[in-house]
Structure formats: structure tokens, C-alpha cells
Amino acid sequence: MVYLDHAATTGVRPEVIADVTAELGSLGNPSSLHEHGRSARRTVEESRERIAAALGCTPHEVVFTGGGTEADNLAIKGLYWARHAQDPARRRILLSAVEHHAALDPAQWTADHQGAAVEYLPVDRLGRVSPQALREAVEDDPGSVALVSVMWANNEVGTVQPVRELAEVAAEYGIPMHTDAVQAVGAEEVDFDGSGVGALSLSGHKLGGPVGAGALVLARGLTPVPVLHGGGQEREVRSGTVPTALVRGLATAVGLAVDEREGHAEHLRSLRDWLEERVREVVPDVVVNGDRKWRLPGIAHLSFPDCEGDTLLMLLDAQGISCSTGSACSAGVAQPSHVMSAMGADPDTALSSLRLSLGRTSTPEDVDALVGAIGPAVERSRAARAKRRR
């Protein structure tokens, strides 16, 4: 079996498994005052400190969540509610048109149920938001903007955004900026304080940590209205018993990913470039999508003209190769990826795409297996499509 879908989820690292397993055998609610509780609290706070050190923030700024989706919801809904409550004129939420649905959907929910006005920042053909585009959107009515949300790196095509420059524009107008950095941590240099953003989401299972653990990093002075209410844990921003074992595993995963980032990124970049070169040898008209210069090292997003991505995925899966398409499927009907559409791709190009994402366990043998299977798969997909069109 060949796994080329690490951007969806990647393997839990042995060190993380060991830490989570060890902690699962310990008793104690970290909110309890007795020794068992204090021991669990020490583990939680030490984990918070380790994550803060890795991401360039203070421990107080790290709020534990159940994952990246919850962190995005807390940032977007919570900051909108807080800012709108301070000034009812602040109704606008500005998002890039290529955000993950974990950001797009909560923003749309606020529009449907809370009276927000959601506006999508355009991207160029490489998938990048320009600081000028953000400035123009803000300048329409600066006092009406509640927040800006632009992901650090795109989960589909891998394009890395000019986060620091975008945050500078937002800061000029006193607008908090959130960034979904789920794909970026461990692949790009992520320095929270240096980036200038006010909120940053991350998820454990994208970098070798456990599913169900994530964090929202919140700059001092920025307090979103909670999405969950209960015991008031996590600065009264995110209620719920903190899962000590998962938090310890998250901290280990983040620390290892950041410490090993440079060597790991270079390995992925070399393997990805070789993959693209080898695929082009057997499918000469393949198209590489996204920004060839500013992109994540482990993602190759490829379009195969006159093919259907879903068909290619199933043909590769039959050969023991796991990957993703560049399209979302709704009720069994393939729809063009909103990311590719925002980049100006026509529907046929968007629907002919595959995302091949590499990870820590990826090897040259994985590339060999893909190259051996992709040529026949493309031929069969094209033949089937041509037959249906006759």
C-alpha cells in the first residue's frame, strides 16, 4: 500500500504514541485541586509551554481545542461576536476565496444566522491573496470590518500566503487577522509573534499528533466570545475538561515537527519535485497547479487533461495507492473545487485534478509505484470519458 494523502492526515509519531499511552494510565482532572489533579495540570501547562516555545508565542496565548475545525470556528464566530458586540457596525468578515471549509462554513453561518456580511478576497491564478486586494476591500469601509481570515498555506494546492504582509495591512486599520495554519506548522516557519496575526489555528493529526487535539493561539487582549460554555477552562474561552493525554501528545508532535522542519521540508521538496518530473515523463501534458515558488514542500497538485479526478483516484486506489482529488463530492455528484475555481480554472481542469501529498514516511519507492500506475490510469480515464461523450 502506498499512502499519498498526508495532507488529509498523517501517521502518529512513535514518540507521540508513547507519551499519549503513558498519560492515559494516569488519573486526574487538570481542574481538580488535589494531587492527582495538580499532576495533570502540570502536564497540561508544560505542554502549553512547549507549544508556545515552538510557535513563538507565550503560553498564555495557547488555547487548547479539539482540533483545527474547532479552532477556526472559535476564531471566526467568536471574534465576530466580540467585535460586533463592541460596535454593531462591524459586520463584515473578509476571507480568502480559497479557505478550507472549516473557515468558510462558520463564516457563512454567521451570515445566515447572525447578520454578518461575508466577503471573499480574490486570489490570482496561483492562489495567492495580494496585500493590495485586502487593502482595497478594507478601504471600502474600514469601520465595518470585524475580522480578516486568510490561511497560512492552502490545503489543496499548497500555495503559501504572504501572511506577514496581509497582517500588516489589517493592523493599519486595527482589524484582527486570523490564519488557519493547520497545513503550515512543521512545513513552513511559523512564528506567531513575528507574523503579526491575532489568532492562529493548528491541528495535531496533520503533523504526527493525535486526532482530536488542536489549539487556537490568541494574542493578548484578543478575547473571542466562547462557542462552548461550561466550566470556563482555557481562559474561559474554551470550556471542557482538557484531555491531558492528547494535549501531551500534541505538544510532542508540535515540538518534533518544528525542531525537524528544515530537514524534513527539504526531503519532501526533493521528493515532490522528483515525483512531478517522473509523472511528466509518462503524462507529458500534466499541469502543476499552485505557486511553484511559494508552496508547501509536500503537496503536488496535478491536473490531467481529458481525465476525471474521481476516476483516477479509484483506478489508483485499485492499485493500492491512496490520494485525493481536487474536487469535493456532494450527494454523489462531483463539483469543481472552489479553490481551483477561485484561481480561474475551468470546470474540466478543476475536475481532472489529483492532490498527491507526501509525509514523513514517504519514500522513492512510493513515487515509483505512482509512476508505474499513473500512465495506464490516465489512458483508461481518457478512454472512458471519450466513450461517454460519443
Residue 333 has pLDDT above 80, yes or no: no
pLDDT on residue 175: 98
Parallel, antiparallel, or unpaired: how do β-strands 214-218 and 199-203 relate? antiparallel
Residue 386 has pLDDT above 90, yes or no: no
Q: Tell me how far the alpha carbon of residue 4 is from its chain's centroid.
A: 17
Domain-located, residue 236: yes
Q: Closest Cα partner for 179 from 90, 68, 92?
A: 68
Which stretches within the chain are classed as H helix?
14-24, 35-55, 68-86, 101-114, 131-139, 163-172, 192-195, 244-259, 261-282, 309-318, 338-342, 347-351, 364-389
| CATH code, domain carrying 332 | 3.90.1150.10
Task: Give the number of C-alpha atoms closer than 13 A to the C-alpha of residue 36, restricted to the C-beta side.
Answer: 7
DSSP string, 236-289: TTS-S---HHHHHHHHHHHHHHHHTHHHHHHHHHHHHHHHHHHHHHHSTT-EE-
CB 239 within 8 A of CB 232: yes
Q: Which three cell numbers stand for residue 247?
A: 494535549
Task: Give the number of C-alpha atoms closer than 13 A to the C-alpha of residue 364, restricted to the C-beta side.
Answer: 3
| One domain for residues 58 and 200 | yes
Domain-located, residue 3: no
Residue 209 has pLDDT above 70, yes or no: yes
pLDDT on residue 334: 72
Domain-located, residue 7: no
Cα–Cα distance measured from residue 154 to residue 248, given in angstroms and rounded to the nearest whole number: 27
Domain-located, residue 309: yes
| One domain for residues 31 and 59 | yes
- Across the range 224-237, mean pLDDT stands at 94
Q: Of 215, 242, 259, which residue constitutes the final position of a domain?
A: 259
| One domain for residues 185 and 97 | yes
Q: pLDDT tens-digit profile of 353-380? A: 999 999 999 999 999 999 999 999 999 9
| One domain for residues 186 and 273 | no
Residue 192 has pLDDT above 50, yes or no: yes
| One domain for residues 288 and 185 | no
Q: Tell me how far the alpha carbon of residue 91 is from its chain's centroid.
A: 25
Q: Of 236, 259, 282, which residue constitutes the final position of a domain?
A: 259
| One domain for residues 113 and 221 | yes
Question: What percentage of residues in the chain have a pLDDT greater than 70?
Answer: 98
Averaged pLDDT score across all residues of the chain: 96
Give yes or no: 57 in active site.
Answer: no
| One domain for residues 302 and 380 | yes
Q: Which three cell numbers stand for residue 114?
A: 447572525
Residue 103 has pLDDT above 90, yes or no: yes
Q: How confident is residue 326, by pLDDT bands cut at 50, 70 and 90?
A: low
Domain-located, residue 1: no
| One domain for residues 208 and 314 | no
Residues in the chain: 390
Q: What is the rounded (10 degree) CA torsion for 3, 266, 123, 339?
A: 0
| One domain for residues 207 and 241 | yes
Domain-located, residue 71: yes
| CATH code, domain carrying 149 | 3.40.640.10
Instruction: From the candidates 57, 307, 323, 329, give the one annotated as an active-site residue.
Output: 329
Q: pLDDT tens-digit profile of 110-129? A: 999 999 999 999 999 999 99
Q: Closest Cα partner for 204 from 157, 163, 245, 234?
A: 245
Q: Of 259, 282, 301, which residue constitutes the final position of a domain?
A: 259
Cα–Cα distance measured from residue 175 to residue 121, given in angstroms and rounded to the nearest whole number: 15
Predicted TM-score of the model (pTM): 0.95
Domain-located, residue 105: yes
Range of the domain at 121: 14-259
Contacts of 354 (CB under 8 A, 6+ apart): 301, 302, 304, 309, 312, 313, 316, 323, 324, 325, 326
State the total domains in the chain.
Answer: 2
Q: What is the rounded (10 degree) CA torsion for 330, 333, 338, 344?
A: -170
DSSP string, 278-315: HHHHHSTT-EE-S-SSSB-TTEEEEE-TT--HHHHHHH
| One domain for residues 201 and 281 | no
Q: How confident is residue 331, by pLDDT bands cut at 50, 70 and 90?
A: very low
| One domain for residues 188 and 269 | no
pLDDT on residue 329: 46
Domain-located, residue 348: yes
| One domain for residues 255 and 268 | no
Residue 335 has pLDDT above 90, yes or no: no
